[in-house]
Amino acid sequence: MKLSTRGEYGLRAMFDLAQHFGEGPIALRSIAERQDISENYLEQLIASLRRSGLVDSFRGAQGGYTLARAPDNIRIGDIIRVLEGPIAPTDCVSERDAELCDRANTCVARLVWEKLRDSIVEVLDSYTLQDMCNEFQELNKETTN
Amino acid sequence: MKLSTRGEYGLRAMFDLAQHFGEGPIALRSIAERQDISENYLEQLIASLRRSGLVDSFRGAQGGYTLARAPDNIRIGDIIRVLEGPIAPTDCVSERDAELCDRANTCVARLVWEKLRDSIVEVLDSYTLQDMCNEFQELNKETTN
DNA sequence: AATAAAACCGAGCAAAATACTTGGGATTAA
DNA sequence: TTAATCCCAAGTATTTTGCTCGGTTTTATT
């Protein structure tokens, strides 16, 4: 029941892009440094995010990445699905292409996993990058007091 | 964000014991057969469950396992914690001994993972083996109609 | 007392997943 | 033209997973 570093790092990187939204392309290197993530590794993660349409990329000097949509239009769930695959505590209750086993029709455990999946989806999809930015503001307000 | 087979199989085995609660010791072999789980592997899982006090064991001929408490007193979360470890989408929000990273005090991602953890805990701890038995009854009522 | 049914135990191990690294090539602003 | 930057495919060390194997110990039954 743990996220891999893909999801962890990926969300941090996307939050970084959200904080710089509107400032033009942000270089991968600068994200990697701020977020303390291996540049080469992050490159792979952001490639997935680009292919799935969550970020736009700009090649060449002064290039970099931007969010493809406004922060309030990107849910945490969108990011996690790209980097960790469909939300699914088990294969038999996967959001996409659930693989039912033979015993599925009488399996009560599956009902439990379904509830769990729904609850995870609910949290991840009710929360956007903008919400994170807002929370960050709040956090800083407190510390400067 | 996936359970391992330890949690999957373990819950199925515990549900099996719940269904036979009050019938005396149930042999590992019979659980393994009914639930279609490798006997040798299940032995390891149930050893964890015994050590943590969720099941009692009876050695020798006609021996086997029983739930250590009534089904309505064993939460799904109790089982999952034994087999999968503390509930923790990331190490930094682990139920037990959370390992904060350097950036923890300003990390907004952590707030997201906390909400996620709480929501997972809520589902797993609000649901007991007895609830599963009840759902099983419901399920069978429907199919026999 | 002998037997067989069961739990108990520790070690080993192959396959898969994870978390990267490496070494290039392609674009493009300056 | 050059340097900054993205793009891509492959390789790799480590860890985790999901088991198997070969025994030992305990105990009800005969």
Going through chain A in order, the beta strands assigned E by DSSP cover: 55-58, 64-67
Report chain A's mean pLDDT, rounded to a whole number: 96
Contact A3 B124 (CB under 8 A): no
- Lowest average pLDDT, out of A97-101, A119-123, B88-92, goes to A97-101
Contact A116 B135 (CB under 8 A): no
Percent of chain A having pLDDT more than 70? 97
Percent of chain B having pLDDT more than 90? 90
Average confidence (pLDDT) over A16-33: 98
pLDDT of res. B109:
97
Contact A119 B123 (CB under 8 A): yes
Q: Which among A91, A107, A132 is the nearest to B108, CB-wise?
A: A132
Average confidence (pLDDT) over A46-62: 98
Domains and CATH numbers, chain B: 5-144 (1.10.10.10)
Residue B143: pLDDT above 70?
A: no
From residues 34-63 of B, which are strand C contacts by CB within 7 A? Answer: 40, 43-44, 46-47, 50, 57-63
Between CA A78 and CA A114 the distance in angstroms is 19
Contact A120 B80 (CB under 8 A): no
Q: At what angle do helices A28-35 and A39-51 cross, to 10 degrees?
A: 120
Interface of A with B (CB under 8 A): 1-3, 7-8, 11-12, 15, 36, 76, 80, 84, 87-91, 102-103, 105-109, 111-113, 115-116, 119-120, 122-124, 127, 132-133, 135-136, 139-140
Q: Which among A103, A111, A123 is the nearest to B116, CB-wise?
A: A123
pLDDT of res. A19:
98
Distance B139 CA to D30 C1' (A): 44
Report chain B's mean pLDDT, rounded to a whole number: 96
User: Which residue lies nearest D6, CA-to-C1' measured?
Assistant: A59
User: pLDDT band at residue B102, thresholds of 50, 70 and 90?
Assistant: confident
A41 CB neighbours strand C below 7 A: yes
Residue A55 β-bridge partners: A67
pLDDT of res. A140:
86
pLDDT of res. A72:
98
pLDDT of res. A144:
64
Express each pLDDT in B26-72 by its tens digit: 999 999 999 999 999 999 999 999 999 999 999 999 999 999 999 99
Residue A34: pLDDT above 90?
A: yes
A-B Cβ pairs (cutoff 8 Å, strict): 100
* H-helix segments, chain A: 5-19, 28-35, 39-51, 76-84, 108-125, 129-144
Token representation of residue A23:
């400032």
pLDDT of res. A80:
98
Express each pLDDT in A104-134 by its tens digit: 888 999 999 999 999 999 999 999 999 999 9
pLDDT of res. B105:
87
Q: Which among B8, B108, B123 is the nearest to A139, CB-wise?
A: B108
Strands A55-58 and A64-67: antiparallel
User: Which residue lies nearest C28, CA-to-C1' measured?
Assistant: A60
